[in-house]
């Protein structure tokens, strides 16, 4: 990953409290896993931003290196990588995601 791509990802990750790198966007997810993440965040009723990796091949590859996580979607809360669809589902079911989001939005 080039330093320029790393800086772009740094900026994206830190510009909002909750950022989802996904295929498509929150209005039109382009894969089932991305849709799962959107549905969970919508159920929580929290503000979040999405980055469509299908629009930018450098970001699509770079985010995998950035997080050392091989799949998309990827969720960041308060600049920290949380995980993908399966991890978000698990955190939501345990009630831990709600707490993470509340802390992030309060800070």
Summarised one tens digit per residue, pLDDT across range 14-70 is: 999 999 999 999 999 999 999 999 999 999 999 999 999 999 999 999 999 999 999
- On the question of pLDDT at 107 being above 90, the answer is no
Tell me whether residue 106 is in a domain: no
Question: How many Å apart are CA 52 and CA 67, to the nearest integer?
Answer: 16
Q: Give the domain CATH number at 27.
A: 3.40.30.10
On the 0-12 / 13-18 / 19+ scale of CB atoms within 10 A, 50 is: buried
State how many domains the chain has: 1
> What confidence category does residue 90 fall into, taking pLDDT thresholds of 50, 70 and 90?
very high
* The predicted structure's pLDDT at residue 104: 93
β-sheet bridge partners, residue 51: 21
Parent domain of 60: 3-101
- On the question of pLDDT at 100 being above 90, the answer is yes
Tell me whether residue 107 is in a domain: no
Q: What is the pTM of this model?
A: 0.95
């Amino acid at each position: 990953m080039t330093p320029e791509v790393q800086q772009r990802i740094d900026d994206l990750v830190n510009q909002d409290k909750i950022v989802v790198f996904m295929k498509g966007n929150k209005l039109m997810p382009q894969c089932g896993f991305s849709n799962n993440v959107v549905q969970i965040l919508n159920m929580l009723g929290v503000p979040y931003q999405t980055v469509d990796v299908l629009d930018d091949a450098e970001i699509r590859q770079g985010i995998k290196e950035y997080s050392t996580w091989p799949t998309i979607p990827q969720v960041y809360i308060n600049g920290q990588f949380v995980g993908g669809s399966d991890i978000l589902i698990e955190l939501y079911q345990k009630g831990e995601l709600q707490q993470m989001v509340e802390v992030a939005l309060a800070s």
